[in-house]
Amino acid sequence: MAGPSIPSVSESNLTRYLQEIRKFPMLEQNEEYMLAKSWREHEDVEAAHKLVTSHLRLVAKIAMGYRGYGLPLSELISEGNVGMMQAVKRFDPERGFRLATYAMWWIRAAIQEYILHSWSLVKMGTTAAQKKLFFNLRKLKGQMAAIDEGDLAPEQVTYIADQLQVPEADVVSMNRRLAAPDHSLNAPLRQDGDGEWQDWLVDEQESQEKMLADREELDKRRALLKQAMKTLNERERHILVERRLKEDPTTLEDLSQVYDISRERVRQIEVRAFEKLQKAIRNAALEEKLASEKQLEELEAE
């Protein structure tokens, strides 16, 4: 985000930084709304700067909750500030909630991602369950006063596994990884050998080509869905979104009251809209396939 910069933070000036950010005023809801509209509609950098700086105290507060991972607080705050700027870029004031509510997710995500990348643990935090275990294990151990006890007792392992819904073996493994010291990947395998530990690491991530292909395929599907939605009328589109595309679907009863029709009628409209949507997507995909085949034939004929 170009424009006025936010205060820089380092370990040497951390105290001064925390004092400085208190000088930025908190925003009233209406002022926040107008600034967000100004940024969203006119890319007003001054407005975006005010939105970010007014929430720097929120970033610092969230960052302090992650001090138990052995990383400088200044770095955690810096990463949280990046998340805050991302939140401002994407914030839509018309949705009716405050920026702080929306930004908390972006701030935490940025800090957690930085922590995961900073820990030199092979294959750690690669799934949602492992990330949940990583960021909650210390808290649960603290509740049981088991922070410095080394290996956990069987009953402690069982309790944590039940609380976080993960296998007990994952709890034991993660606890040992967090307790173990970091080692350099450039360390030799043997004192008399030339090989290093990093020579034996296998990159299990998907290739860049596969990731690009998956992203293109996802974008293509989204475009097909967006185009297909235009075949529905306003009522069909609204009911389909509320019933099939929301994480927490609206009930038939609620929609029947909105449109003053029976629940069965709402269900019929939902089914019909879904069938129309499927047909439109299939037709669009077929047209795209035929167009691609035609282009290929023309290229081969040249």
β-bridge mates for residue 188, sequence order: 196
* CATH class (in words) of the domain with range 209-301: mainly alpha
Rg (CA), the chain: 26
What confidence tens digit (pLDDT) does each residue in 190-214 have? 555 555 545 544 454 555 555 666 6
Per-residue model confidence as pLDDT tens digits over 116-130: 777 644 344 456 666
Residues 146, 152, 153, 155, CA torsion sign:
positive
Total Cβ atoms within 10 A of residue 160: 25
pLDDT tens track for 74-86: 889 999 999 999 9
CA-angle at 57, arms to 110 and 111, nearest 5°: 15
Buried b (16+ CB within 10 A) or exposed e, 131-146: bebbbebeebbeeeeb
Write down the pLDDT at residue 174. Answer: 74
196 φ, ψ (degrees, to nearest 5): -115, 160
Please report the pLDDT score of residue 180 as a whole number: 54
Amino acid found at 117: H
- Residue 123: its pLDDT value, please? 43
Q: Evaluate the CA torsion angle 129, 132, 135, 137 in order and state its sign.
A: negative
Residue ranges, the chain, pLDDT below 70: 1-5, 11, 70, 119-131, 138, 141-151, 176-214, 216-217, 292-302
Topology classification of domain 11-118: Four Helix Bundle (Hemerythrin (Met), subunit A) (1.20.120)
Cα(75)–Cα(201) distance, integer angstroms = 27
**Tokens at 229, concatenated:** 């939605």
What are φ and ψ of residue 126, in 5° steps?
-90, -15
What's the confidence (pLDDT) of residue 122? Answer: 39
SS3 24: coil
Q: Where are the domains of the chain?
A: 11-118, 124-180, 209-301
Is residue 47 within 8 Å of residue 33, measured between CB atoms? no
CA atoms 154, 156, 159, 165: torsion sign: negative
3-state secondary structure of 188: strand
